[in-house]
Amino acid sequence: MKSIFWDTNLFIYLLEDSPKFGQAVADLRRRMLRRNDRLFTSAMTVGEVLVKPLSTGNAALTERYRTLFSGPHVTISSFDFGAAEAYANIRQDRAIRPADAIQLACAESAKADLFITNDDRLSQKNIPGVSFFIASLTRAPV
């Protein structure tokens, strides 16, 4: 069993049934469930995912997303003191955008084993002080 942190883009692909990546994310989630892997993401991801249904006034979809993130199958990592310190270390590399650094810091604070994103630029980074592996969706070792 591993602790796997998903970047926001994976949830958006899954929830919005992306024609290009939706099936790959659904397959990844099935493999994780079979292996009893734990799924993590950040509170920032929840906020980002809720933008679209809230902006369109789709109350049913908003509630569906809230239910997903409040259920037992996803652990939401907060930006706590440990994450703040990890963020400060990660941001020493100014090429890493603040939003990405928040995600990485929350994964570090949650003691994730793996961080999966579809941001190839981010997945190719080697970040000192980060104790997990960063993988792109297409190369995730799950």
- In this predicted structure, what is the pLDDT of residue 141? 82
Q: What is the pLDDT of residues 66-121, one digit of tens each?
A: 999 998 999 999 999 999 999 999 999 999 999 999 999 999 999 999 999 999 88
CATH, residue 129: 3.40.50.1010
Number of domains in the chain: 1
Q: What separation, in Å, do the N-terminal and C-terminal C-alpha atoms of the chain show?
A: 11
C-alpha distances (whole Å) from 1 to each of 31, 39, 77, 130, 134 are 11, 10, 18, 20, 17
Structural domain span for residue 85: 3-139
- In this predicted structure, what is the pLDDT of residue 80? 95
Describe the strand order of the beta sheet including 38-42 as a list of residue ranges. 74-77, 38-42, 3-6, 114-117, 133-136
Half-sphere exposure of 9 (CA within 13 A, CB side): 15
- In this predicted structure, what is the pLDDT of residue 32? 95
Q: What is the pTM of this model?
A: 0.92
Q: What is the pLDDT of residues 46-59, one digit of tens each?
A: 999 999 999 999 99
- In this predicted structure, what is the pLDDT of residue 127? 80
- In this predicted structure, what is the pLDDT of residue 125? 84
